[in-house]
Amino acid sequence: MPRYERTYTTQANFILHGGDYNPDQWLDRPDILQADLELMKLSHINTLTVGVFAWSALEPEEGVYRFEWLDKVFDDIYSIGGRVILATPSGARPAWLSKKYPEVLRVNAERVRQLHGGRHNHCFTSSVYREKTQHINRLLAERYGDHPALLMWHVSNEYGGECHCNLCQEAFREWLKKKYNHDLDALNAAWWTSFWSHTYTDWAQIESPSPIGEHTIHGLNLDWKRFVTDQTISFFENEIVPLRELTPHIPITTNFMADTHDLIPFQGLDYSKFAKHLDVISWDAYPAWHNDWESTADLAMKVGFINDLYRSLKQQPFLLMECTPSLVNWHKVNKAKRPGMHFLSSMQMIAHGSDSILYFQWRKSRGSFEKFHGAVVDHDNRTDNRVFQEVTKVGKMLKKMSGIVGTSRPAEVAILYDWENNWALNDVQGFAAETKRYPQTLVQHYRAFWEHDIPVDVITKEHDFSRYRLLIAPMLYLVSEELIARLKEFVANGGTLVMTYISGIVDEHDLAYLTGWHQDLREMFGMEPIETDTLYPNDRNSVHYRGRSYELKDYATVIKVQTATIEGVYEEDFYANTPAVTSNQYGKGQAYYIGGRLEDQFHRDFYQVLMEKLNLRPILFVKHGKGVSVQARQAPECDYVFIMNFTEEKQTVVLEEKVKNLFTDKEIGGEIILDKYEVLVVEKKREIHSNNKSIK
Ligand code: GLA
C-alpha cells in the first residue's frame, strides 16, 4: 500500500551533483586544482568523491603518510560550499604493498597468481591486506571524521571477482564446515557427489571450482558463489570497523555495478545480501545510449528495471554514484551521448529513486587508461563545449528539485529477482545453453508495466510480499520449501502470483524435487508442469489466448490441469491444444502460470487484464505514444512526475490534470508536444484530508 514518508540516504537536503574527483593525479599542478574550484562553482557541483584510488598518494612508502594534499582538498571543497564523499583506497594498492606482501595478489581459477597491476584484484582473505586497509581507513576516519565537508563513506570501489589462493581455499573449507555443521556426509548429500565418484572423504580434498579441475558439481559451484559474496562482505565489514567506531554518524555505501551489454544486474555478487550491510545503495550506470542493437526506448526500459531493483534492495532512495556526462572508453564503440540525452538520462535516474547525479569523472586524466573517458572537464579546460554546458544545465535544474530528496516510489506490483536462482540457472546442464536469459526474461515481464507507467518494485526473496497486490516470479527454477510456503501464504491471503516455465524445479542445494512439482505449488496453481520442451532458436510454436495467437519460442511446458482454468492453449506440436496458460483461485488470491516464452504482445495483453482486474493505475495519467515513459516519486504532500521522451521524434502527450512544471514554475495541462529526448518534471499536489493527517 502507498507509503509517502521520506527516507533520507544522506543528511543532505539537496540532490547531490558532482562525482569522482582525482586531485591526486594533479598534485604538481596547483593551477589546475585552483581552476577546478572555479569550474565546479560554474557547473553547480556540490559533491565530490575523493580518494577512490589514492593509496599511493596517501602512503607512498609503507608507514609514510601524506595527508596534507587531502586536507587542502577537503578545505577547498568546503570553501565553495561542497561536500565530500570520502573513499577508502582498497580498490587499488601501491606497488610496494604487492611486492612486500605477495599474498595480497589474487590467484585465478587456473591457480595462477597474478602480477601487480590494474586494480580491483586483491585477495579478500589475506590478513595482511585486511590489516593494511583497516589501518589506512582508521587514519582517514581519525583525520576527516569531524570535517564538516564529510558527507559519506564510499568503501573501496566496485567490489567483484574472486580469488582461489590457498588462504581462500582454507576459508572456503571453514565456511563449508560451518554451513554443514562439520558433517561431510551432509555436504556430499547436498552436492550429490556420489555422481561420477566425486564423494569427498576429507575436507582437505575440497577445492574451489576450476576449469582445470572440478566444475561439474552444481552444489559446489553454487556454494562457492555464495562464499565469494560472504567473503567479500566479510572483507568489507573488516574495512568499515574504524568507520563505524569513529564516525557512526556518517553513512556508508559502496558502488554496485551492472553487467553492461544487456544492462542486467551484476552477476558476481549477491547484492541482496550485501545491501544489508550498507546504509545506502549506490551504483554506477553506463548504458550504451544510441547503440545499434536496440531502440532508445528499449534501453530506457532496461535502465528503469535495474534502477527499480537497486532501489528496492533497501526500499529507499539510492545514489547514482557514477555515470558519464558524455561517453565511456570501454564500450565496443564509445559513442557520445547526443544533445539532450545527458539531461534526459539524468532525470530518469532521479525519477526511479536516485538522490544524486554523480559522474565518473570530474576532470579527464591526462594519460593512461582513462585519458579518453568522458569527464565534465576536458583536456582543454573549456566551459563553452556541449558537455560542460549540459552538465551545468543538469546542475541548475537539480537545484530546483530538492523537494524530491528522500521521497519514495510506492508500488503495488513486484517482480522477484534472485541472484542464487540466476547462478543455478546459468550453471544447469540442460534446457538450452544460450537462451536461459533469466534477468532478460524479467525485463520482458517488466515491459508491460513500464509502457503503462505503473510503478514496479523489483524485489528479492527476503522482502515482505504482503505489501504488493501482484507478484511476478518468472523462471524461479531454484526455490526453497520456505519460499514456496511464503508464496503460498501470499496467494492465500489475496495476492495475485504469476509464475512461468522452468519454475519450482530444484531446492536451495540445486537438488531436484522428487515428488514431481511440489505439493504446495500444485495446490496453489491447480495444475502441474509435466515436461519442458526446449526449442531450437529458429523453432516456433504459438499460443492461443483470448482470441489471438501469440508467437512462442525457446521454452514450452506441457501442463496437466487439476483445478485450474485454462486461459490459453498451445497451437502446434505434440502438445497442440493442451493448456499453455492457466489461472487458479487459491484461498483469497489467484495464481497464474505461463507455460511458454511468449512474445511481448502477449505480456502486454495478459498484464492488461490483470491491471484492470486489480485496478493498477499510474500516479498521473498521461496519454502518450510508444517510447514515452512517465515515472513518479511521491512526497507526503505532492507527486513529482517525470514525463520523458525516449524517442528520436517529437511526441504529443496529453495531461488530464493541471500540474506545475518544476522547471518553469508555470501551470501546464492538456496537449503538450515533447521534443526528441525532452523531459518534463511536474508537481502534482496531493489532496490532503481535513484532519491534515490522512493522505489520499
Ligand atoms: C567504473 C569505475 C571507475 C571508472 C569507470 C569508467 O565504474 O568505478 O573508476 O573506471 O568505471 O567508466
**Per-residue pLDDT tens digits for 69-116:** 999 999 999 999 999 999 999 999 999 999 999 999 999 999 999 999
What is the rounded distance in angstroms from the CA atom of residue 461 to the CA atom of residue 570?
31
What does the pLDDT read at residue 352?
Answer: 98
Cβ neighbours of 154 (radius 10 Å) = 26
| Sheet order of strands, 16-21 included | 252-253, 150-154, 83-87, 47-50, 16-21, 356-359
Å from CA of 324 to ligand 1 middle: 9
What does the pLDDT read at residue 691?
Answer: 44
If one residue of 158, 255, 364 were mutated to test the ligand 1 pocket, choosing by the most ligand atoms within 8 A of its CB, it would be 158
What is the rounded distance in angstroms from the CA atom of residue 278 to the CA atom of residue 29?
36
| Helix, strand or coil, per DSSP, at residue 52 | coil
pTM: 0.97
Q: Which residue's CA lies nearest to atom 7 of ligand 1?
A: 284
Q: Which residue's CA lies nearest to atom 3 of ligand 1?
A: 360
Name the residue type at position 661.
N
Nearest to 140 by CA among 252, 272, 283: 252
What does the pLDDT read at residue 696?
Answer: 31
What does the pLDDT read at residue 11?
Answer: 84
Å from CA of 238 to ligand 1 middle: 24
Read off the DSSP letter of residue 180: T
Assess whether the C-beta atom of 286 lies below 6 angstroms from ligand 1.
yes
Report the sign of the C-alpha dihedral through residues 200, 201, 206, 212, in that order: negative
DSSP string of 324-353?
-SS--SSSSS-PPPPTTHHHHHHHHHHHTT
Of the candidates 59, 158, 239, 420, the residue annotated as catalytic is 158
- Is residue 520 within 8 A of residue 449, CB to CB? The reply is no
Q: Which residue's CA lies nearest to atom 12 of ligand 1?
A: 328
- 322 strand-pairing partners: 284
What's the Cα-to-Cα distance from 211 to each of 111, 169, 214, 674, rounded to whole Å? 10, 16, 7, 53
Assess whether the C-beta atom of 328 lies below 6 angstroms from ligand 1.
yes
What does the pLDDT read at residue 690?
Answer: 45
Assess whether the C-beta atom of 420 lies below 6 angstroms from ligand 1.
no
Assess whether the C-beta atom of 284 lies below 6 angstroms from ligand 1.
yes
Å from CA of 79 to ligand 1 middle: 27
Assess whether the C-beta atom of 119 lies below 6 angstroms from ligand 1.
no
Check if 656 is active-site: no
What does the pLDDT read at residue 692?
Answer: 42
What's the Cα-to-Cα distance from 675 to each of 340, 539, 651, 667, 680, rounded to whole Å? 10, 41, 7, 19, 10
What does the pLDDT read at residue 693?
Answer: 40
Å from CA of 589 to ligand 1 middle: 46
Å from CA of 370 to ligand 1 middle: 9
Check if 322 is active-site: yes
Å from CA of 510 to ligand 1 middle: 35
What does the pLDDT read at residue 13?
Answer: 92
Of the candidates 59, 162, 239, 322, the residue annotated as catalytic is 322
The ligand 1 atom nearest the CA atom of 324: 12
- 211 strand-pairing partners: none
Low-confidence ranges of the chain (pLDDT < 70): 1-3, 688-696
